[in-house]
Amino acid sequence: MPTRCRPPADIPADLGPTLPAQNLERFNTAPAPEVHRTLLTCLHSPRWAHRVAAHRPYPDVPSLLAAADEATYDLDPEELAGALAEEPLPKLPAHTYAAASTALSAGYAAYEARFGHTFVICLDAAAPDETLDRILPAIRSRLTNDPEDERGVAREELRRLASGRLRGLLGAATAPSVHL
């Protein structure tokens, strides 16, 4: 199951889904600290959240997504490492996770040992029963990357996760992504 934007308990969730246009207006007019805290739930990078919040108002959701993408690409290695450190492991349906826990645990451990951060993958396009079939081959494939190449792959996965979380936050889950 894809990871969605998840406001922590102390962050107001009033930017949540109603209608995309209303949510974009709310995003554009909410106090900067509130927007910044909410953006951190989509990608845990203070500079990324500041950049996205600072460029408001956005005329439409694609413009917001493009700005978020650009801010993700501009993360320096330290900021990227910080954002990766805060990402949860991909979620699987409970019955699938139990059946595959040994293979997943070994794959996650090997990945983290090789690259020094949690394995991240955007599963927004995957049905819940397909997640295991996507995660295990992706871990195996990405373990063959050199660390520099994998940082690029991980950055792209973070960008895709943040974009999906923003679309979910704005109630624009069907809005087209700027970069596919």
Tokens linked to 179: 């970069």
Helices marked H in the chain: 20-29, 32-40, 46-54, 61-73, 77-86, 94-115, 131-142, 147-169
Which portions of the chain are predicted below pLDDT 70? 1-21, 93-99, 172-180
Q: Do residues 58 and 29 make contact, with C-beta atoms less than 8 angstroms apart?
A: no
Q: Do residues 55 and 65 make contact, with C-beta atoms less than 8 angstroms apart?
A: no
Give the dihedral sign, CA 5/10/12/18. Answer: positive
Model pLDDT for residues 41-72, shown as the tens digit of each residue: 999 999 999 999 999 999 999 999 999 999 99
The Cα–Cα gap between 68 and 41 comes to 13
Tokens linked to 70: 């650009």
The Cα–Cα gap between 167 and 26 comes to 14
Q: Which pLDDT does position 1 carry in this prediction?
A: 34
CA angle 82, 174, 167 (to 5 degrees): 30
The Cα–Cα gap between 14 and 70 comes to 26
The Cα–Cα gap between 54 and 90 comes to 30
Q: Which pLDDT does position 141 carry in this prediction?
A: 97
The Cα–Cα gap between 156 and 176 comes to 17
The Cα–Cα gap between 171 and 64 comes to 13
pTM: 0.80
